[in-house]
Amino acid sequence: MRVFKFGGASVKDAEGVQNVVNVLKEVGYQDTLVVISAMGKTTNAMEKVVEAYFNDKNGLPSAIQEVIDYHHGILSDLFQNPKHPIYDKVKVLFEEVKGFLAWNKSPKYGFVYDQVVGYGELFSTTIMSAYLNEVGLSNTWLDVRNLIKTDNNYRDAQINWERTQTEVSARVDMSKLNITQGFLGSDDNNFTTTLGREGSDYTAAILAYCLNAESVTIWKDVPGVLNADPRNFQETTLLDLISYREAIELAFYGASVIHPKTLQPLQRKEIPLHVKSFINPKDKGTTVGKGVGIVPKVPCFIVKKNQVLLKLSTLDFSFIVEDSISEIFKLFHDHRLKVDLIQNSAISFSVCLDNKFNGLNPMLEELKRKFKVVCHEDVSLYTIRHFDDDAVKSLQNGKSVLVEQRGKETVQLVVK
């Protein structure tokens, strides 16, 4: 069995949905499990629903209606008959969202987030499955929450591999075309959990691992893995073949084309990963697989924006040693701040953080009790793999470099 994953950009409108059908017809769809993300920017729109639920009850109906109108626009373009059963199926899903928000008693943001935002994938796969059947591609719609079992660490759930393997083996018919959701799982109480933002790639890898799939293909709006994000860099080069190790390094540093967790389960079973264009599905794209020494022959640029740089020093000029560092990292963990770069000296400690869960401000209050804190928000972290002097100079030009760190293969710059 093969596993395909289509992201939000590939199903952002009716034309995109129709193109997915064309891709499946062109490359084959038998014995295939297709993982699909929420349509377009639906996840962002559902996040606004959650924000309105907590902070702007008057704005909640319009936030929900915006998502309804978007999906109905796609439905009306795909299904000319307004009495088609798909309209009622999607309506039921929206009623479930409204119902949850009406009866929910939990004040926990993460819990509410997962129960609401996860519907984006349920909308998209329900529509896609119905359209595939409409055009003659018979398929089975699977609820991935019955397949992927997790803990209850909402918004960043951890996989229960043993239970997931059991459920996948029991529920997936490998001889059919199957459609399921990315990003989602469920906990022991069958509440929806999410695997972290952009987690659909990881979903595909989990299912491939459990199914012993022959390959995973991620379909993107780029020709494959490039040496830089074309949204941020003008000149890019396609990397046609790279090793698992190199791909993991690129993903760890923030390369957006592959989710950081995706490679680990694939590497364990040596399942190749293909990254291909849904615009030109017959193009070769990039293959990630086993192969020591398969490294890019050009510098690879990665940028993470909206980062936070903290510079800490002790109030009494004492050394920052193991006890202090342990205490600092516990605060990072407690407030769910991801560490992307560390640099320290005897009396100072600099760290670049990703504040994706908005834990920065309460953490700063605790840090300031024991340390002198200088905080730079909205900085960018640039990483260059396989750098040369010209590559470094190209990033330094016209920018204020706050921190620079060099290793044998990698240089990182925090710039303002």
Residue owning tokens 């024991």: 370
215-220/273-277 β-pairing? parallel
245 is in an annotated binding site: no
> How long a stretch of residues is the chain?
416
One-letter amino acid at 14 equals A
Q: Closest Cα to residue 242, out of 254, 229, 226, 220?
A: 226
Between CA 119 and CA 111 the distance in angstroms is 13
Torsion of CA 235, 239, 240, 245, to 10 degrees: -170
Alpha-carbon Rg of the chain, whole angstroms? 23
Which DSSP letter does residue 135 get? T
One-letter amino acid at 302 equals I
Torsion of CA 210, 215, 221, 224, to 10 degrees: 130
Half-sphere exposure of 310 (CA within 13 A, CB side): 26
Which residues are documented as binding site? 231
**Annotated binding residues for ATP:** 231
